[in-house]
Amino acid sequence: MAAEGKTCGGCGACCKLPAIRELSKPAHQTCSNYVTGQGCSIYEQRPGSCRAFECGYLQNPELNDDWRPDRAGFLLYFAPGPRLVVETDLETPDTWRQEPYLSQLREWSNRSRPSPVEVVVRTGDHLTMIFPEGEITLGKDTGRAIVSGYRGVGERRRPFAEFAKPLAWTL
């Protein structure tokens, strides 16, 4: 549910960035039903995935208008993991590296938080995992699960993120 006082305004990023299965709309192409300055032209009949979607900016009352996706250049949403996905607009693929974004994303990525999440930047099919210590490039999404966390102890403790190894036959 949208946080009190939050509105989409003239954003429309979720009518461009995600694929919409019911409409066969590819990711990163503006939906043919989207009218600039007006929004969805089939609002009452829009597909279920459009009805169900609310981005992180809309849900989080603490995110100011710098985080509105059309201004930030990316949108936020939660996925199983639990994972916070930073879905970038391919026209502005690096704005998440700027402030105030990067510091906040690194803070959210702190695994010591009460409800830890993986924070993953998705740029097309390219993935990057954020940690407070820095970013780890995962590369092209293989479709396999991602494992991430810390290895080592003391000064040798380091974050890691990698795709799970394919299952091997053990007959």
Provide the binding-site residues for ligand SF4, judged by CB under 6 A. 8, 11-15, 20, 31, 33-34, 40, 42, 46-47, 50, 54-55, 57-58, 68-69, 75
CB neighbours (10 Å) of residue 141? 14
The span from the CA of 50 to the CA of 54, in Å, is: 8
CB of 44 to ligand SF4, least distance (A): 10
Pick the closest to residue 166 from 148, 145, 152, 151 (CA basis).
145
Sort residue 152 into left (φ over 0), alpha (ψ -120 to 50) or beta: left
Please give the backbone phi and psi of residue 127, each rounded to the nearest 5 degrees, phi first: -115, 140
Q: Give min distance, CB of 157 to ligand SF4, in A.
A: 36
Residue closer to ligand SF4 by CB (options 68, 122) is 68
Query: Considering beta carbons, is residue 9 or 149 the nearer one to ligand SF4?
Result: 9
- In the complex, least distance from residue 90 CB atom to ligand SF4, rounded to whole angstroms: 15
- Smallest distance from the beta carbon of 64 to ligand SF4, in angstroms? 13
Cβ(75)–Cβ(56) below 8 Å: yes
Instruction: Closer to ligand SF4 by CB, 4 or 155: give it.
Output: 4
Is the CB of residue 2 less than 8 Å from the CB of residue 59? yes
- Residue 147's beta-bridge partner residues? 162
| Closer of 15 and 129 to ligand SF4 (Cβ) | 15
Question: Is the separation of the CB atoms in 20 and 40 below 8 Å?
Answer: no
- Name the residue nearer to ligand SF4 (CB basis): 11 or 161: 11
Length of the chain measured in residues: 171
Closest approach of Cβ 13 to ligand SF4, in Å?
Answer: 4
